Chain A
Amino acid sequence: MDRAAIIGVGTTKIEKSKIGETFADMAWEAVNNALNNAGMTIDDIDNVVTTSSDFWDGRTISCMAVGDASGAAHKNVSCVEGDGTYGAFYGMTRCLSGSYKTTLVTGHSKGSQSVSSLITNSAFDPIYERALGMDMVTACAMQARSYMHRTKTTPEQMAMVSVKNHGNALKNPLAHLPMKITVKDVLESEMIADPLHKLDCSPVSDGCAAVIIAHESAATKFKQKPVWIKGVSFCADSFFFGDRDISRAKSLTKAAKKAYAMAGIHDPKKEIDVAELYDAFTYQELMWLEEMGLADDSMAGKLLEKGDFNIDGRLPINASGGLLSGHPVIAAGLYSMAAVVRQIRGDVGGFQVKKAKTGLVQGLNGLGGQSHCVFILDKDK
């Protein structure tokens, strides 16, 4: 099979409110950062994939608002709704189709412009679920309780995820919420929805990220040493939240297994050097680790206590600070991808991990992780 690589990444700073910028302004900044990073001009880009959500953007065909600023004029442009990793997945398949050599993929969102609980409420079934007020926080609080009940994970262990990730963000100039906090601070922060405290939850932030994906025949023609896509998989679970065992993420387990197999990974615990996971809530980092086989069942909390997932640990997780430290919905997975690409290149700056040959990026969409996308990136082809 032909191969594809990531040859450029660019992001805006993640902020609480970019009140001075439109969606297009954010895209302009991220796209130009990615082009500069790759050593490319817009003429080197064959086609564009934008990622956005009409509900979050408050308009129909939200992708069109960023087309011009993303250099899509006179090009084939297509929109993906969902996490940025899904846009990257589609961008990659376009490069592998034989029709395009290079794809620019963007993802943007501004949480500051809407009432997030109403937006996430709208994701639920309008007949049975919406009218009761179910939203992201409510759904994830129920998932957290279910996960804690099954695995005996403690509130203290969850709090340690928040402490670690906010602490990591102190070394990431792009992060929205770098903070030096303690387990006590997390446990004493306001209880939003039992068992989730305020500091167990990510903020809803503003930001745009862009990555450039190239077919192998074009991957070495520009400035950067390519970071190769070795494995990737995308799986979805049932729509109704109540159909799933919500203490589990069946579709993530499946996606991870497929991605490992494609990348030739037999023991992910040993072979993955660094990972950025979708930590929208503290418990999710632990749950996703177990569901992807990066920690044994019910053991992620204990391994976290041992320091395994610290920047200098056995398997650094969310060294960038993760989404707990800044969560631009939709763009999120592309920020994670940009962080892992730069870890592998060795140019990520203050939160560089020691060994970063093989990295994992996880993106998700839907309440409590209805669908998941897993990328395995590698220094070597």
Chain B
Amino acid sequence: MTQNENIIIESGDAIQPFAYSVGMHGSKFFTELRDNRRFMAIKCPKCKKVYMPPRGVCGDCFVEMKDWVEVGPKGIISTFTILRFAFIDPETGAQKPVPYGYGFIKFDGADTLFQHYINVKDETRIRIGARVEPVFSKDRKGSIRDIEYFKVID
């Protein structure tokens, strides 16, 4: 009996391009973020919940939302993790340097949570309830990476 051999068929550099529509709500959110460093959320006319990120429909009430509300830029950490294992960055395909912080931010004035990186320079200051503010990228392009990370300020 010969040794097992794995025959490998590869797809090479083939990619599957896909263009997601960000929609009117995303357009406003990212334009305001890029041009004015403002965070725009949207409020349900029925339950008054302020949604971040903004979208067209309140799922709980099944009604359309049109009332824009500025929230933040400061907020609190609602929950967080510190990644210590190098996962592959879906943006670059490379391994992301560890450790890095990832958390849910509750902006002042918002009712739902916004996820982003949290600076881990001083891990001891990261806790549920800590106040944070965003650090913006210098070169903003209208994407979620226009925010570099959130940092603890208390």
B143-A131 in contact (CB<8A) = yes
**Interface check A1, CB cutoff 8 A:** no
Chain A, Cβ-Cβ closest to B147: A132
- Contact of A19 with B6 at beta-carbon distance under 8 Å, contacts A138-B81, A142-B104 already known: yes
- Interface size of A as a range: 35 or more
A193-B82 in contact (CB<8A) = yes
- Residue of A127, A134, A194 touching B84 (CB-CB under 8 A): A194
Query: Measured between C-beta atoms, what is the minimum distance from B63 to chain A in Å?
Result: 15
B115-A129 in contact (CB<8A) = yes
Alpha-carbon separation in the docked complex, A304 to B115 (Å): 33
B51-A193 in contact (CB<8A) = no
Query: Measured between C-beta atoms, what is the minimum distance from B77 to chain A in Å?
Result: 10
Query: Measured between C-beta atoms, what is the minimum distance from A259 to chain B in Å?
Result: 23
**Interface check A208, CB cutoff 8 A:** no
Alpha-carbon separation in the docked complex, A19 to B5 (Å): 11
**Interface check B68, CB cutoff 8 A:** no
A133-B90 in contact (CB<8A) = yes
A242-B104 in contact (CB<8A) = yes
Alpha-carbon separation in the docked complex, A146 to B81 (Å): 10
Chain A, Cβ-Cβ closest to B60: A238
Write out the residue numbers on chain A whose beta carbons fall within 8 Å of the beta carbon of B78. Answer: 146
A141-B81 in contact (CB<8A) = yes
**In the complex, per-residue mask of A102-135: 1 if CB is within 8 Å of any chain B CB, else 0:** 0000000000000101100110011111111111
Write out the residue numbers on chain B whose beta carbons fall within 8 Å of the beta carbon of A240. Answer: 53, 55, 112
**Interface check B71, CB cutoff 8 A:** no
Alpha-carbon separation in the docked complex, A241 to B116 (Å): 13
**Interface check A381, CB cutoff 8 A:** no
- Contact of A142 with B116 at beta-carbon distance under 8 Å, contacts A127-B26, A242-B104 already known: no
Query: Measured between C-beta atoms, what is the minimum distance from B44 to chain A in Å?
Result: 11
Alpha-carbon separation in the docked complex, A31 to B98 (Å): 44
**In the complex, per-residue mask of A228-254: 1 if CB is within 8 Å of any chain B CB, else 0:** 000000000011111100110000000
**In the complex, per-residue mask of B100-131: 1 if CB is within 8 Å of any chain A CB, else 0:** 00111000000011111100000000001000
Write out the residue numbers on chain A whose beta carbons fall within 8 Å of the beta carbon of B26. Answer: 127-128
Query: Measured between C-beta atoms, what is the minimum distance from B51 to chain A in Å?
Result: 7
B59-A243 in contact (CB<8A) = yes
Q: Can you list 24 A-B contacts with CB-CB less than 8 angstroms, sorted by A residue number? A: A118-B88, A129-B144, A130-B90, A131-B90, A131-B91, A131-B143, A131-B144, A132-B117, A133-B102, A134-B115, A138-B87, A141-B102, A142-B79, A144-B81, A146-B128, A190-B84, A194-B84, A240-B53, A240-B55, A241-B115, A242-B113, A242-B114, A243-B51, A246-B104
Chain A interfacial positions (CB closer than 8 Å to B): 19, 115, 117-118, 121-122, 125-135, 137-138, 141-146, 149, 190-196, 238-243, 246-247
- What are the 3 tightest A-B residue pairs by CB atom distance, in nearest-first order? A242-B113, A141-B81, A146-B79
